[in-house]
Amino acid sequence: MRLSTVPALFLTCLSLSACASSSGPDALSAGLTSPETTSSVTGIVAPVPVADVGTGGVETTTAEARPEQNREALAWAGQVPSSDVFVPERSLSMPVPGEKPVEQVAMITPAIDPLPGKRSRVYGHRFRDAKPINFGSRSPRKMAVHGVDVSRWQGDIDWAKLRTQGANFAYIKSTDGGDHLDPMFRTNWRKAKEAGLKRGAYHFFYWCRTGAEQADWFIRNVPRDPDALPPVIDVEWNGESRCKRRPSPETVREKMQVFMDKLERHYGKRPVIYTAPDFYKDNLRGAFTNYPFWLRAVAQHPSKVYPGRKWVFWQYSGSGLSHGVEGKIDLNVFHGSVEEWHAWLEGRQS
């Protein structure tokens, strides 16, 4: 009786094991697709214009090839991106300053408490420019709140000196694609805050990766700091990349939306969109009207280059010179007064 029972039990176990293996990871990956779909936290769908595209992307290496670096980056940021992400009770959605004569677009801005800490001092700019441009009566030099954006190419920055030269804020290169971390990001992130600058991180978007992958990589490497500026998605064409994929305008905007939705859910702040004239013309005219924009315009005022578009930041030079930095640095300005700057930081309408 016992001997006949053992084979029966053995056959039953084998049968159950076969059933389990047929629904494992390999079977799931072979039978399911993973399309990018948006799930905007605001429920707002931006208009979709029709336009042409160019080439794009930056070169990266696979994340799987550097597991040790990934674990280190994950531990430093203290975050583990997953589908079960943190959803803040309040969204620190930053309003977009109005620009006359463009009609003001209503923003969804929930009532929130001010960001922690005292208001930081605003320094007047003392920057020089290796290639100065005459912007006429609408010169950025007449504006109140100036700042910079930096990456590894600025080397070791004297942040305390740079701040006194007029850098009241700094956007710092953090990541691009799904596996590249700027080698100076951690140092710049820490030292900029120590010097009293308002600082945020920007991600260079890579068109041969999904938006979800890139959002996860950004979240792994950029700490969630309530005092930081909103994260930035940098969208532009890069002809030097081996990625020659040319997504349609609809696909471009879909990938951007996936990325921005994940960041907004995680950080509780609506991302800022940085772009350049050619990419904007191809993909973004009339789109994302409920997002703040940071516009590159180094020869003319943004109203000439991006007619009808409201903006929060203007990158007006790529050839700035300043004490505290060796070589050239990008110069930027906030669209508003000192009071409007503080109001924007605190999430209040100006």
Residues marked active site are found at 149, 236
Provide the token pair at 88: 């803040």
CB count within 10 Å of CB 166 equals 20
Say which residues have a Cβ less than 8 Å from residue 239's Cβ, sequence separation at least 6: 54, 55
Q: 3-state SS of 305-337?
A: HCCCCCCCEEEEEEEEECCCCCCCEEEEEECCC
What sign results for the dihedral spanned by CA atoms 241, 36, 287, 232? negative
Provide the token pair at 215: 């959002």
Q: Are 312 and 319 in contact (CB under 8 A)?
A: no
Strands 146-150 and 329-334: antiparallel
Provide the token pair at 339: 């009071």
Q: DSSP string of 97-114?
A: PP-TTSPPPP------PP
What sign results for the dihedral spanned by CA atoms 114, 98, 254, 149? negative
Minimal CA–CA distance to 273: which of 224, 236, 327?
Answer: 236
Whole-angstrom distance, CA of residue 209 vs CA of residue 223: 22
- Count H helices and E strands in the chain, helices first: 10, 10
Strand pairing partners for 296? 315
Three-state SS at 205: coil
Q: State how far Cα 344 lies from the chain centre.
A: 18
